[in-house]
Amino acid sequence: MKPRIAIDLDETLGATVTDSTSIIGFRLREGCIDLLNQLEPKYYLVLWTVAHRSYLDKVLAFGLKDFFKETYSWDETEQCWKDVREIDVEFLIDDDEYHREIAEKYGIESHYLIVPAFGSPEDDQDPSGWVRQIEAKLL
Protein backbone atom coordinates (compact mmCIF):
# COMPACT_ATOMS: atom_id res chain seq x y z
CA MET A 1 0.00 0.00 0.00
CA LYS A 2 1.30 3.45 -0.93
CA PRO A 3 1.83 6.09 1.76
CA ARG A 4 -1.01 8.61 1.83
CA ILE A 5 -0.29 12.32 1.40
CA ALA A 6 -2.75 15.18 1.42
CA ILE A 7 -2.38 18.30 -0.68
CA ASP A 8 -4.17 21.58 -0.09
CA LEU A 9 -6.03 23.13 -3.02
CA ASP A 10 -6.14 26.93 -3.07
CA GLU A 11 -2.80 28.75 -3.17
CA THR A 12 -0.99 25.40 -2.96
CA LEU A 13 -1.95 23.87 -6.31
CA GLY A 14 -3.27 27.04 -7.91
CA ALA A 15 -6.13 29.52 -7.82
CA THR A 16 -9.67 29.75 -9.11
CA VAL A 17 -10.56 31.86 -12.10
CA THR A 18 -13.88 33.66 -11.86
CA ASP A 19 -15.97 35.95 -14.01
CA SER A 20 -17.15 37.89 -10.93
CA THR A 21 -20.21 35.68 -10.49
CA SER A 22 -19.02 32.09 -10.93
CA ILE A 23 -15.98 29.84 -11.20
CA ILE A 24 -14.90 29.48 -14.82
CA GLY A 25 -11.58 27.71 -14.29
CA PHE A 26 -8.68 26.83 -12.05
CA ARG A 27 -5.21 28.18 -12.82
CA LEU A 28 -2.66 25.54 -11.93
CA ARG A 29 0.73 26.59 -10.63
CA GLU A 30 3.83 26.19 -12.73
CA GLY A 31 4.91 22.55 -12.59
CA CYS A 32 1.73 21.32 -10.89
CA ILE A 33 0.72 18.58 -13.32
CA ASP A 34 4.29 17.29 -13.70
CA LEU A 35 4.64 17.17 -9.92
CA LEU A 36 1.37 15.28 -9.48
CA ASN A 37 2.48 12.83 -12.18
CA GLN A 38 5.72 12.25 -10.22
CA LEU A 39 3.95 11.80 -6.90
CA GLU A 40 1.12 9.59 -8.11
CA PRO A 41 3.15 6.38 -8.65
CA LYS A 42 4.67 6.60 -5.14
CA TYR A 43 1.82 8.03 -3.08
CA TYR A 44 -1.92 7.79 -2.69
CA LEU A 45 -2.92 11.41 -3.25
CA VAL A 46 -5.66 13.04 -1.19
CA LEU A 47 -6.98 16.54 -1.81
CA TRP A 48 -7.85 18.49 1.35
CA THR A 49 -9.38 21.95 1.39
CA VAL A 50 -11.11 24.17 3.91
CA ALA A 51 -13.53 25.18 1.16
CA HIS A 52 -17.03 23.72 0.95
CA ARG A 53 -17.82 20.57 -1.03
CA SER A 54 -19.75 22.45 -3.74
CA TYR A 55 -16.69 24.61 -4.43
CA LEU A 56 -14.34 21.62 -4.41
CA ASP A 57 -16.50 19.68 -6.85
CA LYS A 58 -16.51 22.62 -9.28
CA VAL A 59 -12.75 23.04 -9.12
CA LEU A 60 -12.03 19.33 -9.57
CA ALA A 61 -13.62 19.52 -13.00
CA PHE A 62 -10.77 21.77 -14.21
CA GLY A 63 -8.05 19.12 -14.47
CA LEU A 64 -7.48 17.70 -11.00
CA LYS A 65 -10.11 15.00 -10.49
CA ASP A 66 -8.05 12.21 -12.08
CA PHE A 67 -5.22 12.68 -9.59
CA PHE A 68 -7.33 12.55 -6.43
CA LYS A 69 -9.51 9.52 -5.74
CA GLU A 70 -10.21 10.83 -2.24
CA THR A 71 -11.08 14.42 -1.35
CA TYR A 72 -11.99 16.23 1.85
CA SER A 73 -13.70 19.57 2.23
CA TRP A 74 -14.76 21.73 5.16
CA ASP A 75 -18.12 19.91 5.07
CA GLU A 76 -16.45 16.59 5.97
CA THR A 77 -13.70 17.78 8.33
CA GLU A 78 -14.90 20.87 10.11
CA GLN A 79 -11.79 21.47 12.22
CA CYS A 80 -9.87 24.60 13.13
CA TRP A 81 -6.70 23.13 11.59
CA LYS A 82 -5.67 20.29 9.29
CA ASP A 83 -4.63 17.48 11.61
CA VAL A 84 -2.99 14.75 9.49
CA ARG A 85 -4.28 12.14 11.94
CA GLU A 86 -7.85 13.16 11.09
CA ILE A 87 -7.68 11.64 7.60
CA ASP A 88 -4.78 9.22 8.19
CA VAL A 89 -2.15 10.76 5.91
CA GLU A 90 1.62 10.71 6.28
CA PHE A 91 2.14 14.28 5.06
CA LEU A 92 0.19 17.43 4.32
CA ILE A 93 1.47 19.80 1.64
CA ASP A 94 -0.02 23.23 2.29
CA ASP A 95 0.77 26.92 1.93
CA ASP A 96 -0.37 27.91 5.43
CA GLU A 97 2.23 27.78 8.21
CA TYR A 98 -0.65 27.86 10.71
CA HIS A 99 -1.22 24.10 10.39
CA ARG A 100 2.39 23.21 11.18
CA GLU A 101 2.45 25.65 14.10
CA ILE A 102 -0.54 23.90 15.69
CA ALA A 103 0.97 20.48 14.88
CA GLU A 104 4.05 21.42 16.94
CA LYS A 105 1.88 21.28 20.07
CA TYR A 106 1.30 17.59 19.31
CA GLY A 107 4.84 16.76 18.15
CA ILE A 108 3.76 15.98 14.59
CA GLU A 109 5.10 19.06 12.78
CA SER A 110 7.48 16.95 10.66
CA HIS A 111 4.41 15.67 8.80
CA TYR A 112 3.71 19.15 7.38
CA LEU A 113 5.43 20.48 4.28
CA ILE A 114 4.69 24.18 3.92
CA VAL A 115 5.35 25.73 0.51
CA PRO A 116 5.13 29.39 -0.56
CA ALA A 117 1.61 30.41 -1.51
CA PHE A 118 0.82 30.76 -5.20
CA GLY A 119 1.29 34.41 -6.16
CA SER A 120 3.23 35.30 -3.00
CA PRO A 121 6.42 37.40 -3.36
CA GLU A 122 8.50 34.26 -2.73
CA ASP A 123 6.57 32.37 -5.41
CA ASP A 124 6.88 35.24 -7.88
CA GLN A 125 10.64 35.28 -7.32
CA ASP A 126 10.99 31.50 -7.88
CA PRO A 127 7.83 29.98 -9.43
CA SER A 128 9.32 26.45 -9.47
CA GLY A 129 10.65 26.61 -5.92
CA TRP A 130 7.59 24.95 -4.44
CA VAL A 131 8.07 21.93 -6.73
CA ARG A 132 11.73 21.54 -5.80
CA GLN A 133 10.82 21.79 -2.12
CA ILE A 134 8.32 18.94 -2.44
CA GLU A 135 10.64 16.85 -4.60
CA ALA A 136 13.44 17.20 -2.04
CA LYS A 137 11.21 15.96 0.76
CA LEU A 138 9.09 13.30 -0.97
CA LEU A 139 10.82 12.08 -4.13
Would you list the DSSP string of 7-71? EE-BTTTEEEEE-SSSEEEEEEPTTHHHHHHHHTTTSEEEEE-SS-HHHHHHHHTTTTTTT-SEE
Whether the CB-CB separation of 51 and 11 falls below 8 Å is answered with no
pLDDT band, residue 20 (cuts 50/70/90): confident
pTM equals 0.94
Question: What pLDDT does residue 76 have?
Answer: 84
Shortest CA distance to 10 belongs to which of 38, 69, 52? 52
Q: For residue 134, give its domain range.
A: 4-138
Q: Phi, psi (5° rounding) for residue 60? A: -55, -30
Decide if pLDDT at 79 tops 90.
Answer: no
How many domains is the chain partitioned into structurally? 1
Question: What pLDDT does residue 66 have?
Answer: 94
Question: What pLDDT does residue 48 have?
Answer: 95
